Amino acid sequence: MTRGSRLTSEDLEEIRERAEKATDGYWTADTETWPGNDNLQHWVSYIDNHGSDGLCAAARSDDATFIAHAREDIPKLLAEIERLNDRLRDVEILYNECSTELDSYYK
């Protein structure tokens, strides 16, 4: 998919599958920097019923925060897209019904 192109149902399904396969639990970005690697100092970790562990490291704190929030943000965005697509289908049905009725009225 290129930037600015429309998401297809296949694109959305692939995104949903990636989100569902990602590590469960609450993801968090550490606020402290970790020494030893100047490029990757900001850890993203997950917390679940069994404890916590690191998922990945990022060069910038803002990137780590973005990654950590993706665990909750992506499913929310997918649900909102689904809701809006359902609403759009309803509007299209109503439009087609009204258009047909108006066409028959003005003939």
68, exposed or middle or buried, with CB in 10 Å at 0-12, 13-18, 19+? buried
The mean per-residue pLDDT over the stretch 72-94 comes to 96
Q: What band does 1 get if pLDDT is binned at 50, 70 and 90? A: low
Encode pLDDT of 6-30 as tens digits: 899 999 999 999 999 999 999 999 8
Encode pLDDT of 40-60 as tens digits: 889 999 998 888 899 999 999
pTM: 0.79
